[in-house]
């Protein structure tokens, strides 16, 4: 692991981002999914929708299964 990678990751530790869906300001690393693994040291590599909102969106948009089919 390069020293440069450690410093760039260290700068991200205190970043916060506002979720586009719920509007809450949350921690970038803990509360947002990493969407571009090759750009790990940049804030733009993280999603703009928090993990909680992403899970809610996926659950609501899933196809409903008929239990009697």
Q: What is the pLDDT of residues 1-27, one digit of tens each?
A: 555 555 555 555 668 999 999 999 999
Q: 32: which residues sit within 8 A by CB, 6+ positions away?
A: 17, 19, 26, 46, 47, 48, 49, 50, 51
Interval 50-57 mean pLDDT: 95
Give 8 or 63, the one with higher predicted confidence. 63
Q: What is the pLDDT of residues 29-53, one digit of tens each?
A: 899 999 988 887 788 899 999 999 9
pTM above 0.85, yes or no: no
pLDDT of residue 27: 92
Closest to 25 measured CA to CA, from 35, 14, 34: 14
CB–CB of 57/37 below 8 Å? no
Q: How many whole angstroms from its chain centre is CA 10?
A: 17
């Amino acid at each position: 692991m390069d020293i440069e990678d450690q410093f760039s990751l260290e700068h991200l530790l205190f970043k916060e981002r506002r979720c586009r869906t719920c509007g809450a300001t949350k921690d970038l690393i803990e509360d947002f999914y990493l969407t571009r693994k090759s750009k790990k040291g940049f804030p733009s590599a993280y999603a703009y929708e928090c993990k909680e909102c992403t899970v809610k969106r996926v659950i609501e948009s899933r196809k409903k299964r008929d239990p009697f089919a």
